[in-house]
Each structure stands twice: as C-alpha cells, then as structure tokens.
Structure 1
Amino acid sequence: MTSSYYPIHEKPGFEADAYAEKIERALRNGEKDTVAKLIVDINNAQRQKVKEPYRIRYGKELLQALDKKFSGDAETLILALMMSPLEYDLEQLEKAMKGLGTDEAVLIEIICSRTPDQLKAIAAHYDKKHEKAPLAKTVAGDTSGEFKDLLVALVTGSKDNGQATNDAQAHDDAVRLFADGKGKFKGADGSHFLHILATQNMYQLRKVFAEFEKLSGQNIENAIEKEFSGDLRAAYLTIVRASVNKQKFFATQLHNSMKGLGTRENDLIRAVVARSEVDLNLIKEEYKQLYGKPLEDHIKGDTSGVFRDTLLNICAGNL
C-alpha cells in the first residue's frame, strides 16, 4: 500500500538499465520534456540506481550529460532531483556559505526544519568532505550572536530526537520564556529561548508553546515577532512553525517563493524536491486552505516551459 502523503513513489517493475537507455535516447534526440518525465517517473532511490549502468553503458556520468542538455531553472530542478536528499541539503548549505555574503534564509530553512537525524547525517558528511572547515566552524564563521549560537547548537546535535514529553517541565519552561522577555537573560548555556528551542523535541515544544499561551495570552509566534528581529527571529519562528505544523510551514515557504514580483526559483525547487517523497500532498492541502487556490495554479502562473511542466509532474505524482 502506497502512502497518500507524498506524490513520488517507488515505480513498480523498474529496471535501471532500461531507464538509462530511455534517458540516453531522449537526450540524443534533444527531447528535454521526455527526459524530465522519465526522471520524475521514478523515485529518488531508483534515480540513484540509474547512474551506474548509464556510466558503464555510455562512458559518461549521467549528471554531466543532463547538465549539458538543460539550462536555467530546468537544469537546477533536474539536477536537484538526481541528487539524494542528503546530497541536495549539503549542496544547498555549501552554496549558501560560499564566497562573499551568506544566504541566511537557506541556512535557517535547512538547519531549523530538518530532523535531528537528518542534521546528524548532514554534519557528518559535510565534516568528512571539509575536514579543515567542519560545518559548525563554517556556520559560526558566517553568522554572529545568538543566531550563531542557535545554528551551531543544532548542527552539533543539541536537539532531542525522542518523543517523550513532560507536562511539569513544559509548564516550567513556559514560565521561563514568559519571564525571559527578550531572551536577554544569559546563563552559562545562553538564553532560555536558545536553550529550550534548540534542545527539546517537537512534541515537548508543542506542550511548552501551549503552556506559554495560557500564561501570556498570546501565542509563541506573536511573542517572537515582537521580541526578536532579523535572522534570529526568522530562525526561532522556523523552529516553532516546523514543530507545530511542518506542512503549513512548507506551504508558506512555497507561497513566499512565488509572492510579489519575480519568483525565488531556488526556494521553490528546494521545497518541492525536498518534500516530494515526504509530505508534498499534505502541503498541497495546507496551501489550498491558506491561499484559496491550488499550489499548481500558482506554479502555472509563475513558471514556464520544461521547468513548469516538471514541477507540475512532481505535484501530480508518478503513479
């Protein structure tokens, strides 16, 4: 039985050699639409299995072949689909911290919304690849203040990966957050906001936020909006929103990527690709409730060509 939570599933009857041949034939004929459809027709694990028979049979790397034939946003999307989820997160983090300037929004989305297990894998692989500049050191060098402390805590494994909750602890922590105000109190481990949001599992955080609302008469998001600013506010809000309702969080991310003049294509690609085998169908439901029309309608209005068609094919699914 397949899950209805996400649109891209393992393809029954898949044969890696056959897909390698189909993709090469379409590439030689310049049929970009066909290539894109073939890639979306199988899930990520199966895409990884196509790479080796393709290399053996045609003497070249599949990613390089795709890179030569596609360009622009369609190329970015196709290459994202061909990476494993871990490889894609790593690539996004590397790009966000490369050269002058840092794309804090990308750091926040990945570091503050991924699970503890995902962050552990990201850090391990990043550190292996960049031995002289591990992830925690690189993040610390590109950020500052409590924002830096929060991101470093998360990438070094501070967050509880369990599901256990404690009502008394939730009440006590809500009192601390309420009394802490702007989080200016600095103990040995930093502010209460930093300590609680960077360490506790999402089930416990939900209890803390519910207790906070009882005590203060406002929800935790409103409190953070009032008391913090800039990247730190965005990071705390991401942790809260991803803990309370991750599908709603990503629906908002998708809407923001297409809001106003211009489209932030990389943000759109990252959200669609990252959630295509996790919960994209649920995100689409949240999106329609929040914004009054289907995600696909906004994609049609903001994108074009192979890029648009491939995004729509992902949303439609492969079964």
Structure 2
Amino acid sequence: MNSHATILNNRDFDPVAWAEKIDKLLRDGKKEDVAHILASISNKQRQMLREPYKTKYGNDIVAALDKKFSGDMEKLVFALMDTPLEYDVKQLRGAMKGAGTNENTLIEIICTRTPDELKAIKAAYEREYDNQLDQEIASETSGGFKELLVKLVNGSRNARQDTDDEVARNDAKLLYTDGKDEASAKKEYSNFLIILATQNQNQLRKIFAEYERLSGGPIEKTISKKFGGDLAASYLAIVHTFSNMPAFFAAQMHAAMKGLGTRDNDLVRAIVTRSEIDLALIQEEYLKSHKKSLAEAVKSETSGTYCETLLQILHGNRKFA
C-alpha cells in the first residue's frame, strides 16, 4: 500500500455490479453519483469496468461517459478513465497540436517521469499517432529547450540509481564554471544541459549539494540568473523534481490556480496523476508554502460536481481500502 497516495484499491469494488450501477446512474441523469463512483476507486479498478460494461451494453464506457459530461468535468473524467500511460501520451499530443505549444505540459511530463516511463511514453505515442515523439517535439520547440526534451525522451538519463562522489564533485565544478561564464552557459550543449539530462536522480542530488558547497548558493539561483524562458523552467523542474517532487507538484498546482482564471487542464493533470503516488505529501507541501490547504484553494477556484470530485480525490478513499 502506498502510504502517500490518496486513492487506493477499493475493497468493496465489484466490476460487474459497479458497471451496471454506472449505466443506471447515467440513464437516470445522476452524473454527480457517477463522478463520485469513479473517484472512489483506483485507476486499475476503473480499467476493470470496461469489459463488463462493453459485454452487457455493447458500448465503450468512456464513450458513454463522454456523452454525459462536458467542460472541465469531461477533462476530469477522461483523466480518471485513461491509464496513466494513455493520459500522458494524450496530454503530450494535446500540448503540441493546433496553434501554439503548451510548454508547461511538455516540461511537467518529460522532466518528471522516470527513464522507464519515458521509454513507454515514446513507444505508446508512436503506436498511437504513427509519428516519432522526438521529431514532433523538435518541430514544436527550439534551442537548448528542444535539445533537452529530445535527449530525455530518447532515454539519455541513466536509469540506474548508483552514485559516485568524485563524479559529483567534478560535475559540480563544470556547472560552477559554466555558471560564471556567460558564453559557456548559453552554448546549446552546455554542461548544464548534458549533466541535467543524463545523470540519475541520486547522482543529481549529490551534484546539487556539491554545487551549493562550491558556490555558496543553491543551483536554482544560478539557473534563474543565467537562463531564461522554457529552458530555465525545464532545468528548474529537474532540480525541484529530484530535490523534492511533492513540493514541485504543489507549486504546479498553485501556478494553475493563481491569477485570473484557472488552468483547469493543468490542475486536473497534476491532481489525478499524483493521486496514486504522493498526493498526500503534495498537500502537506502546499499547506507549508501557501498557509492554506490545497482543498481550500481548489474550493475557491472551482465549483459544482467538478469541485466536489477534485476534493474527493484530495481527501481520498483510504477508509474503503
């Protein structure tokens, strides 16, 4: 059992009975109850609804749900019903198709997923869309930002978790030198790009600690000073992800809700994708940073069934696990 997840397998779940229950509720127009059911079970259990629903009603359950939900609630239902892999693939596609590119989505997914997850995403993307993911990224981005994302989706990061103190010291020196030298830092293949794209998370933590010892300040300060735009955001995402993943996602959720209007797709993605991993820790980090709970923030920015379902995911289903 994942002690930091909010959504776990529901011990009372019965795929056949629950598929029938969902169909009846959809026919009766009780969408709020359907949303409540979907948020009360794990992603694995949601997938188990597909076969009995199709067998009994001759229809895909997602298509049936799609007919009944719209707007932000539709986004949330799709996020719940897709497998994590399917959802990441669709989010990347959505971030690149049409006018403009949603760089925030590309950064969040590509800079936070493990090498194995990225390998699976790349293969699934290419199966689904008959296009090379790295080529699509390259056509939608530019400069160091493009090089970093392409390297990551092509498996540049070391998947092993071993560390080497001497390598960490040497890499920290290279970064420190680059950080002081304007020209080196701006080069397309700077040491920042190579090291942040290739070293494993444990090694990166050692490198960041060595860098701070050398420079007297955190590496984030140098990144913010030397780089700009999407490249800086990507480097910072990698640093924050490997230093404190829950704090990174707490910041993502805050950014999705601050200012005029809410970036609902970003909010849904962050809450749903972390619900079976570390959403409990993210809520702790959010409270620490913003002096109010994530649930309070969500309540003030959303409404109706959409709000209630997000809050249900935040509160979790542990009492049924």
Q: Smaller-chain TM-score range?
A: over 0.9
- Tell me, yes or no, if structure 1 residue 80 matches structure 2 residue 110: no
| 1:183 and 1:192 in contact (8 A); partners too | no
In 2, distance between residues paired with 1:130 and 1:30? 34
| 2:223 and 2:236 in contact (8 A); partners too | yes
The alignment of Structure 1 onto Structure 2 pairs a total of residues equal to 317
Q: Give the counterpart letter for 1:176 in structure 2.
A: L
- Structure 2 residue aligned with 1:42: 41
- Structure 1 residue aligned with 2:114: 115
In 1, distance between residues paired with 2:159 and 2:294? 31
- Structure 1 residue aligned with 2:155: 157
CA-CA distance at 1:316 after TM superposition: 1.0
CA-CA distance at 1:129 after TM superposition: 2.2
Secondary structure of 2:204 counterpart: helix
Structure 1 counterpart of 2:140, from 139, 142, 147? 142
In 1, distance between residues paired with 2:201 and 2:62? 37
CA-CA distance at 1:141 after TM superposition: 0.8
Q: How is 1:45-60 mapped onto 2 (pairs within 5 angstroms)? A: 45-60=44-59
- Structure 2 residue aligned with 1:64: 63
Q: Give the counterpart letter for 2:5 in structure 1.
A: Y
% of aligned pairs identical?
52
- Structure 2 residue aligned with 1:286: 285
CA-CA distance at 1:184 after TM superposition: 4.0
| 1:177 and 1:192 in contact (8 A); partners too | yes
In 1, distance between residues paired with 2:286 and 2:2? 19
Q: Give the counterpart letter for 1:167 in structure 2.
A: D
- Structure 1 residue aligned with 2:102: 103
Q: Residue deviations 1:163-209, cap 9 Å, x none?
A: 111111111001000101267439x9921001100000111001101
CA-CA distance at 1:62 after TM superposition: 0.7
Q: Give the counterpart letter for 1:12 in structure 2.
A: R
In 2, distance between residues paired with 1:3 and 1:159? 26
- Structure 1 residue aligned with 2:125: 126
- Structure 2 residue aligned with 1:246: 245
| 1:252 and 1:287 in contact (8 A); partners too | yes
CA-CA distance at 1:161 after TM superposition: 1.3
Secondary structure of 1:101 counterpart: coil
Q: Give the counterpart letter for 1:273 in structure 2.
A: V
For structure 2, the 5+ residue unaligned runs are none
In 2, distance between residues paired with 1:28 and 1:252? 40
CA-CA distance at 1:130 after TM superposition: 2.9
Q: How is 1:3-22 mapped onto 2 (pairs within 5 angstroms)? A: 3-22=2-21
Distance 1:204 1:250, change over 3 A: same
Secondary structure of 1:185 counterpart: helix
Secondary structure of 2:161 counterpart: coil
CA-CA distance at 1:56 after TM superposition: 1.2
Q: Residue deviations 1:192-235, cap 9 Å, x none?
A: 00110000011100110111111111100011000000110001
In 2, distance between residues paired with 1:13 and 1:314? 17
| 1:189 and 1:195 in contact (8 A); partners too | no
| 2:2 and 2:277 in contact (8 A); partners too | no
Secondary structure of 1:11 counterpart: coil
- Structure 1 residue aligned with 2:202: 203
| 1:54 and 1:62 in contact (8 A); partners too | yes
In 1, distance between residues paired with 2:89 and 2:36? 25
What is the TM-score normalised by the length of structure 1?
Answer: 0.96
For structure 1, the 5+ residue unaligned runs are none
